[in-house]
Amino acid sequence: MKKFIDYITEEMMAAFEKAGYDKDYGKVTISNRPDLCEYQCNGAMAGAKKYKKAPLMIAEEVVGCLEGSPVFSSAQAVKPGFINLKIQEGLLAAYLHEMQKDDHLSVDLVKEPKTIILDYGGPNVAKPLHVGHLRSAIIGESIKRMGRFLGHKMIGDVHLGDWGLQMGLIITELKERQPDLVYFQEDYEGEYPKEAPFTIGELEEIYPAASARSKEDESYKEKAMAATHQLQQGNRGYRALWNHIMTVSVNDLKKNYEKLNVTFDLWKKESDAQPYIPEMVEYMKREGYAHLDNGALVVDVKEESDTKEIPPCMILKSDGASLYNTTDLATIVERMKLFHPDEIIYVVDKRQELYFTQVFRCARKTKLVEENTGLYFLGFGTMNGKDGKPFKTREGGVMRLERLLAEITDEMYKKIIENRNVKDEDARRTAEIVGLSAIKYGDLSNQASKDYVFDVDRFTSFEGDTGPYILYTIVRIKSILNRFTQDGGSLEEGQIKEAVSESEKALMLELTRFNSVVENAFEEKAPHKICGYIYDLANDFNHFYHETKILSEEKKEQKASWIHLLLLTRDVLETSIDLLGFSAPERM
């Protein structure tokens, strides 16, 4: 559907032209003085110099050309040359009526859908999910949903970290503890057991123990590195162990992501890219892209315009071992081959920015991607505690995702129980839904690249710029609609009519912005813009609600109009939170 603001801008442009001015001065913006007007145009000020005329004169001439406009109910030229605009109620009502009939709530599908791979989540196998991975999952999921809503082919890939030292550490620690396991018998040729020799709980204890030990004990670390190498070389017993680690760990990860309402299309992992490495390395050498530097194979990626030093991209270490970025480059090769994406977007901690600059430049220079393949890095900031340091448990340890979810759910549960007497069972489930909104909205309402403070009290509040406030508003609308239908009202009758109050008009104008907001939020990969929008929308709704006696309205047509306005507001809010990756309960 055409954007509401386009109707306004076109009308303004026509007026500038009619008055003898360049139509480009007719740009319109939302008013920053809502007490005076709804939209404003500052084109007369901008044109004053060119036309050597007082801006107010230009503004008055343009306003003269708007006489009888079907778009504006009022257009005023004010000092020093602004044009203040108010919208015709009829036009606004008609737009929302159309929007309500549109099965995509006025948002157009893109004409040329792109195939976009979204690399997000990025957990490391066998290490518990921690809050750093939380951000990637939450932000990535939202961007995936936005892109899909607009009609792009979005492919979300979890890109598991399964190829690093953590595997060697676990194997080494297991060997220390249970040297008799069949996996460690060198001459063993039989089948390995189907059952893993550890549970997820044990695995999560083994890894940190091994990691801590390797930091103190040099020879232990060497053993772990050797084990990693042997695993990568295909040692049978280690391979079998690796398979067990993967199965146990991935099952657990899936459960955790499910709780977060995060789903991946692909469960690919670093190891999947390994087979592409030898050929890629050969190619880079053959084409003269890579050269030896102190025994290591590198590709230079610095550019003349760099203001800071961008080190070469290392492809192989001097001992021939591959690195994190070798895997990332090979993954690009794999993705191009399997999916031929138009874009690959990485949602990763912003501390990896320089690293991705190197990887992208290397991929471009060595032509692993096509000239117009987009490679984008979406770096996010750190989630901090109230002390301004990375978020930790009360005891100062790494915060496990499960624990974070449990703590928030408990907090929400307390608040919900305080509020009313829903059945216990119901309240638990509701607390989970609302708790998730608290976490996700708390995260997404900040610009992704910024650090933010995870403030449990603030995020779980029913008031202010929070997830629970948005859900509360949705539930409020649902309960009015329920009462309406229970009293015999029909949701089919009538349609949105002209606004009869300021607060109603403000709500209606806000609703027209939905399509622009969604498009812009995806364009800028900025879920916080959707949060900002629904916060305004919820405020506008609540303002309207407090001033309007909806259910006791006597005039049938008026009541039906408001009911439809409620339905549309509910749909826009629910669609928006779905784009953010959470949902609303029926009651709270």
User: Measured from the CB atom, is 122 or 237 closer to ligand ARG?
Assistant: 122
Token pair 């890109």 is at which residue?
A: 159
Q: Which of residues 309-328 bind ligand ARG (CB under 6 A)?
A: 328
Q: How far is the CB of 479 from ligand ARG (least distance, A)?
A: 43
DSSP 586: S
Q: How far is the CB of 238 from ligand ARG (least distance, A)?
A: 21
128 touches ligand ARG by CB under 6 A: no
User: Measured from the CB atom, is 133 or 513 closer to ligand ARG?
Assistant: 133
φ/ψ (deg, to 5) at 479: -70, -35
Question: Which residue spans within 42-102 are E strands per DSSP?
Answer: 72-78, 82-87
φ/ψ (deg, to 5) at 487: -80, 10
Distance of CA 585 to the CA centre of its chain: 21
Nearest alpha carbon to residue 495 among 199, 205, 192, 98 = 98
Nearest alpha carbon to residue 143 among 460, 523, 441, 421 = 523
- Region binding ligand ARG by CB under 6 A among candidate stretches 47-55, 119-127, 144-152, 509-517: 119-127
411 touches ligand ARG by CB under 6 A: no
| Of the residues 346, 522, 535, 541, which one makes contact with ligand ARG according to CB under 6 A | 346
| Of the residues 43, 122, 128, 585, which one makes contact with ligand ARG according to CB under 6 A | 122
Q: How far is the CB of 449 from ligand ARG (least distance, A)?
A: 16
Q: Which of residues 326-345 bind ligand ARG (CB under 6 A)?
A: 328
| Of the residues 11, 61, 119, 465, which one makes contact with ligand ARG according to CB under 6 A | 119
User: Measured from the CB atom, is 135 or 221 closer to ligand ARG?
Assistant: 135
User: Measured from the CB atom, is 130 or 175 closer to ligand ARG?
Assistant: 130
Q: How far is the CB of 501 from ligand ARG (least distance, A)?
A: 51
- Count the site residues for ligand ARG by CB under 6 A: 8
140 touches ligand ARG by CB under 6 A: no
What track of x and - describes contact with ligand ARG for positions 270 through 309 (by CB under 6 A)? ----------------------------------------
User: Measured from the CB atom, is 122 or 468 closer to ligand ARG?
Assistant: 122
- Region binding ligand ARG by CB under 6 A among candidate stretches 35-43, 116-124, 142-150, 305-313: 116-124
User: Measured from the CB atom, is 164 or 532 closer to ligand ARG?
Assistant: 164
| Of the residues 12, 245, 348, 470, which one makes contact with ligand ARG according to CB under 6 A | 348
- Tokens found for residue 430: 């509701």
Q: How far apart are CA 18 and CA 360, in angstroms?
A: 50
Q: How far is the CB of 289 from ligand ARG (least distance, A)?
A: 21
User: Measured from the CB atom, is 62 or 134 closer to ligand ARG?
Assistant: 134
Residue 209 CB coordination number (10 Å): 15
User: Measured from the CB atom, is 124 or 326 closer to ligand ARG?
Assistant: 124
Nearest alpha carbon to residue 156 among 252, 268, 256, 247 = 268
**Is there a contact between 325 and 366 (Cβ–Cβ < 8 Å)?**
no
| Of the residues 161, 312, 435, 585, which one makes contact with ligand ARG according to CB under 6 A | 161
User: Measured from the CB atom, is 38 or 328 closer to ligand ARG?
Assistant: 328
Token pair 């994406």 is at which residue?
A: 341
User: In b/e form, how buried is each residue of 413-427, taking b as 16+ CB within 10 angstroms?
Assistant: bebbeeeeebeeeeb
159 touches ligand ARG by CB under 6 A: yes
Nearest alpha carbon to residue 483 among 530, 551, 428 = 551
Name residue 72's amino acid. F
User: Measured from the CB atom, is 159 or 221 closer to ligand ARG?
Assistant: 159
Q: Which residue is nearest to ligand ARG (CB)?
A: 122
List, edge to edge, every strand of the sheet that includes 313-316. 291-293, 296-299, 313-316
Q: Which of residues 412-431 bind ligand ARG (CB under 6 A)?
A: none
φ/ψ (deg, to 5) at 117: -90, 130
Name residue 280's amino acid. M
Q: How far apart are CA 45 and CA 189, in angstroms?
A: 85
135 touches ligand ARG by CB under 6 A: no
124 touches ligand ARG by CB under 6 A: yes
Q: Which of residues 222-251 bind ligand ARG (CB under 6 A)?
A: none
Q: How far is the CB of 296 from ligand ARG (least distance, A)?
A: 20
Distance of CA 396 to the CA centre of its chain: 28
- Region binding ligand ARG by CB under 6 A among candidate stretches 118-126, 144-152, 511-519, 545-553: 118-126
Name residue 407's amino acid. E
Name residue 50's amino acid. K
Q: How far apart are CA 33 and CA 31, in angstroms?
A: 5
162 touches ligand ARG by CB under 6 A: no
Q: How far is the CB of 162 from ligand ARG (least distance, A)?
A: 9
User: Measured from the CB atom, is 71 or 348 closer to ligand ARG?
Assistant: 348
Evaluate the CA torsion angle 19, 20, 23, 25 in order and state its sign: negative
What track of x and - describes contact with ligand ARG for positions 2 through 31 (by CB under 6 A)? ------------------------------
Q: How far apart are CA 145 and CA 122, in angstroms?
A: 18
- Tokens found for residue 574: 């629910």
The secondary element (H helix, E strand) that includes residue 39 is: strand 39-41
User: Measured from the CB atom, is 11 or 119 closer to ligand ARG?
Assistant: 119
Contacts of 405 (CB under 8 A, 6+ apart): 259, 260, 435, 436, 439
130 touches ligand ARG by CB under 6 A: no
List, edge to edge, every strand of the sheet that includes 82-87. 29-30, 39-41, 82-87, 72-78
**Is there a contact between 224 and 165 (Cβ–Cβ < 8 Å)?**
yes
Q: How far apart are CA 430 and CA 586, in angstroms?
A: 9
Q: How far is the CB of 122 from ligand ARG (least distance, A)?
A: 3
Nearest alpha carbon to residue 171 among 105, 118, 242 = 242
Q: How far is the CB of 362 from ligand ARG (least distance, A)?
A: 14
Q: Which residues bind ligand ARG (CB under 6 A)?
A: 119, 122, 124, 159, 161, 328, 346, 348
